[in-house]
Amino acid sequence: MDVARVDRGLLIAAGSALLLIISLFLPWYAVSASLGPGVPAVSASVTGWESFSYTDLLLFLLAAVVIVLAALTAAGSLPELPVPIGQIVLGAGVLALLLVLFRLLNLPGDAGGLVGVDVGRKLGGFVALIAAAGIAFGGTQAAASRAPERAI
């Protein structure tokens, strides 16, 4: 395996993909409930794995594709692809970014409007947002570095 075969954009995307996987283990949401005056509030947090049904799996698969493409490139065994690798990584990053943005804007279980129950965002979602943006950025860099030059 020779990391020198992997361009900077693909390395950025692969590192960001690893960070995206790690973010799924961090708390994404917190729920706190006030049970009444004089009673301490109860709170809990949930990770990305615990709070989603399919979004967590899709984010994991998108990140895994980017990591596998970088590993195959480093090993020199990347098969001939119908689409340039930079465009694949860029597409995975944009899709991951849209999914994370949606999950940050649309909080799960709004507590049905219950008084004293508050649902909030935690660190994991914001780490995932940065990681997904990093994958998209790395994809743009990889696509730009492998773009064919046009004759003038």
What predicted TM-score, i.e. pTM, was given to this entire model? 0.85
Confidence of residue 150 (pLDDT cuts 50, 70, 90): very low
Structure tokens belonging to residue 65: 């594709």
User: What pLDDT, on a 0 to 100 scale, did the predictor assign at position 146?
Assistant: 67
Phi, psi dihedrals of residue 47, rounded to the nearest 5°: -80, 175
Listed in sequence order, the DSSP H helices in 28-110 are: 48-51, 55-75, 85-105
User: What pLDDT, on a 0 to 100 scale, did the predictor assign at position 2?
Assistant: 62
Query: For the chain, which residues make up each domain, given as ranges?
Result: 3-26+52-110+124-145
Q: What is the pLDDT of residues 65-106, one digit of tens each?
A: 999 999 998 888 888 888 989 999 999 999 999 999 999 998
Distance CA 103, CA 131 (A): 14
Phi, psi dihedrals of residue 36, rounded to the nearest 5°: 145, 175
Pick the residue with more confidence: 148 or 127? Answer: 127
Which distant-in-sequence residues (6+ apart) come within 8 Å of 13 by Cβ?
66, 70, 89, 93, 134, 135, 137, 138, 139, 141, 142
Contact 51, 25 (CB under 8 A): no
